[in-house]
Structure formats: structure tokens, C-alpha cells
């Protein structure tokens, strides 16, 4: 299997990452990192799963496949765009199934 690494930027995000790590044995909560450190982690990733944040734009710039979740915002406004010849980052919105199982199945399909 693949490892899941969980970045965070504030105390609330760190608590959430720690809860996920308890539920997912292969998950690792990262230490607090700056953008350069996170870009290095993303550069070594097979794929990226994230929410509507700048880290997904970093993933696109580094030509990584992935899924960007937009549970409350519109991807048409701030969505991630990949170069036509690059691996794609798909945007998922509330109209899509955002359950953990559905998202992980979509991510697995990207990696197949």
C-alpha cells in the first residue's frame, strides 16, 4: 500500500490530521512545514488528494495527478488547472459523492 501523509497549518488542522492518523494505520502527521518543505513532499508523491487550497495548485505545477475536493467553494472560480499534457487533477464538488470510500476509489482509479 501507499503511505498517507497529512500536512497541517494550524492547531485545528493538526487535530484533524491526528484524528485521521488514528483511524488510518498508514497515515503520518507531518511536522509543521513551510511551503518549500510541502512542495518537496508533493514532488515525491504518487498523487495528491486535498481540498481547495494552494497545495493543490502546487501539485498541478509539479504535474502530479490528484483530486481536489471543493465541498463549499466553486472550482470554476479558484479551481486547479493542469497543463493539457500533464496528469490531471479532477475537481469534486458536493454534486459528486464525497464520501471517503468514493473519493478513495476515484484516487485509486487515477493511480491504476
Task: Classify burial at 70, counting beta carbons within 10 Å of its beta carbon; exposed 0-12, middle 13-18, buried 19 or more.
Answer: buried
Evaluate if pTM is beyond 0.75: yes
Q: Are strands 48-51 and 66-69 parallel, antiparallel or unpaired?
A: parallel
Domain count across the chain:
1
**9 in any annotated domain:** no
Q: What count of Cα atoms within 13 Å lies in the side-chain half-sphere of residue 108?
A: 7
What digits encode the pLDDT tens for the residues 62-89? 999 999 998 888 788 777 877 778 778 8
Task: Classify burial at 47, counting beta carbons within 10 Å of its beta carbon; exposed 0-12, middle 13-18, buried 19 or more.
Answer: middle
**29 in any annotated domain:** no
**CATH number of the domain that 73 lies in?**
3.40.50.2000
**21 in any annotated domain:** no
**91 in any annotated domain:** yes
Amino acid at each position: 500500500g501507499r503511505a498517507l501523509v497529512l500536512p497541517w497549518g494550524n492547531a485545528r488542522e493538526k487535530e484533524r490530521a491526528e484524528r485521521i492518523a488514528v483511524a488510518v494505520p498508514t497515515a503520518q502527521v507531518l511536522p509543521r512545514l513551510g511551503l518549500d518543505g510541502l512542495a518537496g513532499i508533493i514532488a515525491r508523491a504518487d498523487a495528491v488528494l486535498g481540498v481547495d487550497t494552494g497545495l493543490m495548485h502546487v501539485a498541478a505545477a509539479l504535474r502530479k495527478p490528484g483530486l481536489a475536493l471543493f465541498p463549499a467553494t466553486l472550482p470554476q472560480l479558484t479551481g486547479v488547472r493542469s497543463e493539457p499534457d500533464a496528469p490531471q487533477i479532477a475537481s469534486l464538488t458536493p454534486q459528486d459523492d464525497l464520501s471517503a470510500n468514493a473519493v478513495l476509489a476515484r484516487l485509486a482509479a487515477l493511480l491504476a
